Structure 1
Amino acid sequence: MRLVVCSLFAASFVAHADRLPQQAVDTAEIPEIVISAADADSKPLPYYRIAPDVYFLYANIAEVDGKNRGFNGNAGFVVTDEGVVVIDSLGTPKLGRRLIATVRKVTDKPIRYLILTHNHPDHSYGAVAFRQLPGIKIVGHVGTLEYLGSDNLPASVAFRRRILAADMKGFKGVEPDILVGGEIYSHYDFTLGGKTFAVYNADHHHSFGDLVVHQAEDRILWISDLAFNNRSTFMGDGHSGAALEAIDWLRRTFPDTRLMIPGHGSAQTPPFPMVEKTYSYIKRLRDEMRAAVEAGQDLESAVRLSDFADWHATPLYHENHKKNANFIYREMEQEVYFGK
């Protein structure tokens, strides 16, 4: 695969005080893109061509708010001779419609597949916009069905409707047409326009169920939230032990990968430092919380005392670290007292 030096296809879209990095691969630059509720659904979002036929929407690094309006998780799409494959749908129905408009800016070929890497809002709440497209197949993890029936969904939707009422108009949970599950690390494959897409069941390391997408011919790996770049990780669903196991699997299974595209932050080329950084953070926090449990330290004290000073400058560390410590402490209680 011939990698393309990232080029920005968004100059005409800069209507606010947006800050758009000149490239979206191997960069520490973080975009600051203001999303307006008044923007038309037909207005494309900023995007980058990061490889032949591969386009990437590099989103804000932030919690959802009225400035980014849910554009705080990455998405992308691949154009083939027979149609388009979209990976993730962004965080609101309105953003989903604008993602479709972004595809239309590049090509008039039909969108044949939408792959939802997991059920978190920033990646999946735009899916209802795609459901209206003729002939589309939506691919998701079997755990999506559990999420759609859980208390998490109405609570999350209510929160987003409070701060993004117009953007969330028309939201509905979307059941995938194709469910990927079964044995961990098994995969569902399809070919479109001479390109093969292998969609792997990567367990529930981050959510109710997580997928990794491999483009074999292009040696590109869409890893979603298995590793984070340009920001700290979030452990609030899933399982931290499964995350470490999935990263080990990733390293073993795809040694010839040329480009990794995460769910947050810029894409990376080898040696993929975001993978090691995410792994080391999770392992370090697991070790710390296990030691606290084994020493009889209570949850409140363990979380209060947990502090990784070398992470202080990393975006969203201060918002996420205590939550991560709380979540992993409870996991360690289960492992110490009841085993895996």
Structure 2
Amino acid sequence: MFHLILTVCLAGSSEDCAPILLPQAEAGTRAECEARAGRIAESWLKGRSGLVGAGSECLPTGELTALPLQQVAPGVHVYIGDPVQMEESADGRIANLGVVIGEASVAVIDTGVSRAQGQELFAAIRRLTDLPVSHVILTHMHPDHALGTSVFKEAGAEILGHAAMPMALDIRARGYLDSITRLYPPAEVIGTEITLPDRTVADRDSIDLGGRSLSLRAEGTAHTDNDLTVFDEATATLFTGDLVFRELAPVIDGSLTGWLQWLEVAPRPVPQVIVPGHGAVTDSWAEAIGPQTEFLTALRDATREAIAAGAPMSDAVPQVTKSLQDMEDTWNSFPETAARDATAAYKELEWE
């Protein structure tokens, strides 16, 4: 299979350029790909006034830059991100991403931090199968999970997310794009756009990939107010998104108490493989959530103690952060995250 790669540069700069994979031109031969190239490239550039084209070529699948995927169950493949915060990463590729291959089509669970990463995920899928990517499931709105979506939308995939996700992502869109532009070089972020879900899940839903079903569940406010989990029934693989952190210190952007309540109830059916939002895949639910539950419980208890003692937030946050220092060796990116979480916990728990 051949794929159209359009070189795109920032307007006014011939040095700040990036390859843009345009899946609409995908073809069985180079000649077919090249015949479609001009029209598709022109259409993609139209309306993107800050970008200019600088040539194109059609490449076979084997020559595309692809993310490394590992198979964690039959037909289930995962990209394991670097478990650090985005500010500590050279390219923002910190989240775990999933691919589930059915008999008729493919589903993607989270798409990464940029169009560049989404394209490399698409290329990795093409090295596994020529089946269409029919669905993208976004586990929540955070940029490390959701900003690589546009390439899959262009490939014809339906985008799914929690019912609260469109508003949550739309509100933060400008800030997310500004953040990655500030943190990473142009080659990593050129072409990155916000893509909102086509369909949302308010409770439960399922998708059929042909001989394989994925169950989607909208969770209550926990890590965020738009967390969605995905369960592959064929292999009992659970994609938790950032409801489960491993190695990277957990971040509260929703509700501490809601998150702890979610952790209290083991999923049914019992998953045989757990793919967290960050960190290593495991086959043990207790192993997956144990350190995170300990951290969040200690955070809650220390924050309540500070509030009960009448400490204002300016005093309570450093007190609570200090009380958690014994856990620092368990987590990457701990000091800054613990302070942020202590602030979020105080704001929530002072109103109990």
Q: Higher Cα Rg: structure 1 or 2?
A: 2
Task: Give 2:177's aligned amino acid.
Answer: V
Aligned equivalent of 2:70, options 48, 72, 85? 48
Cα deviation 1:106-135 (Å, max 9, x = unaligned) = 11111011000000000001111211012x
Task: Give 2:166's aligned amino acid.
Answer: L
Q: Which residue of 2 aligns with 1:225?
A: 242
Q: Which residue of 2 aligns with 1:300?
A: 314
Task: Give 1:178's aligned amino acid.
Answer: R
Confirm or deny that 1:262 pairs with 2:283: no
Alpha-carbon distance between aligned partners in 1 of 2:335 and 2:177, rounded to the nearest angstrom: 24
Alpha-carbon distance between aligned partners in 2 of 1:44 and 1:68, rounded to the nearest angstrom: 18
* 8 Å contact from structure 1 (residues 97, 129) kept in 2: yes
Q: Which residue of 1 aligns with 2:199?
A: 178
Cα deviation 1:64-121 (Å, max 9, x = unaligned) = 2585312111101011110111100001111111110111111111101100000000
Q: Shift of residue 254 of structure 1?
A: 2.0
Task: Give 1:318's aligned amino acid.
Answer: P
Task: Give 2:270's aligned amino acid.
Answer: D
1:286-325 to 2 correspondences below 5 Å: 286-306=300-320, 307=322, 308-313=324-329, 314-325=331-342
Q: How many residues align?
A: 290
* 8 Å contact from structure 1 (residues 118, 207) kept in 2: yes
* 8 Å contact from structure 1 (residues 189, 198) kept in 2: yes
Q: Which residue of 2 aligns with 1:11?
A: none
Q: Shift of residue 55 of structure 1?
A: 0.5
Task: Give 1:167's aligned amino acid.
Answer: E
Aligned equivalent of 1:169, options 180, 187, 190? 190
Alpha-carbon distance between aligned partners in 2 of 1:263 and 1:155, rounded to the nearest angstrom: 22
Q: Which residue of 2 aligns with 1:338?
A: none
1:3-22 to 2 correspondences below 5 Å: none
Cα deviation 1:252-299 (Å, max 9, x = unaligned) = x32521110001001111243131221221121111111211211111
Q: Which residue of 2 aligns with 1:153?
A: 173
Alpha-carbon distance between aligned partners in 2 of 1:118 and 1:139, rounded to the nearest angstrom: 10
Task: Give 1:117's aligned amino acid.
Answer: T
Confirm or deny that 1:138 pairs with 2:159: yes
Alpha-carbon distance between aligned partners in 2 of 1:272 and 1:119, rounded to the nearest angstrom: 26
Q: Shift of residue 304 of structure 1?
A: 0.9
Task: Give 2:169's aligned amino acid.
Answer: L
Task: Give 1:238's aligned amino acid.
Answer: G
Aligned equivalent of 1:117, options 139, 142, 156? 139
* 8 Å contact from structure 1 (residues 260, 272) kept in 2: no
RMSD: 1.8
Q: What SS does structure 1 have at the residue aligned with 2:68?
A: coil
Higher fraction of strand = 2
Q: Which residue of 1 aligns with 2:290?
A: 276
Alpha-carbon distance between aligned partners in 1 of 2:20 and 2:163, rounded to the nearest angstrom: 34
Q: Shift of residue 248 of structure 1?
A: 2.2
Q: What SS does structure 1 have at the residue aligned with 2:243?
A: coil
Confirm or deny that 1:81 pairs with 2:98: no
Task: Give 2:178's aligned amino acid.
Answer: A
Q: What SS does structure 2 have at the residue aligned with 1:263?
A: strand
Q: Shift of residue 201 of structure 1?
A: 0.5
Cα deviation 1:194-237 (Å, max 9, x = unaligned) = 111110001221123010111123111111111111221111x1
Gaps of 5+ in 2: 1-16, 22-63
Q: TM-score, normalised by structure 2?
A: 0.78
Q: Which residue of 1 aligns with 2:258?
A: 242
Q: What SS does structure 2 have at the residue aligned with 1:223?
A: strand
Q: What SS does structure 2 have at the residue aligned with 1:291?
A: helix
Sort the Cα spacing of 1:149 and 1:138 in 2 relative to 1 into closer, same or farther, 3 A: closer
Q: What SS does structure 2 have at the residue aligned with 1:138?
A: strand
Cα deviation 1:119-162 (Å, max 9, x = unaligned) = 0000001111211012x111111112212332x32122111112
Q: What SS does structure 2 have at the residue aligned with 1:166?
A: helix
Q: Which residue of 2 aligns with 1:212?
A: 229
Q: Which residue of 2 aligns with 1:62?
A: 84
* 8 Å contact from structure 2 (residues 99, 107) kept in 1: yes
Q: Name the % identity.
A: 26
Q: What SS does structure 2 have at the residue aligned with 1:62?
A: coil
Cα deviation 1:25-69 (Å, max 9, x = unaligned) = xxxxxxxxxxxx978863001111111111010111122258531
Alpha-carbon distance between aligned partners in 2 of 1:161 and 1:94, rounded to the nearest angstrom: 13
Q: Which residue of 1 aligns with 2:48?
A: none
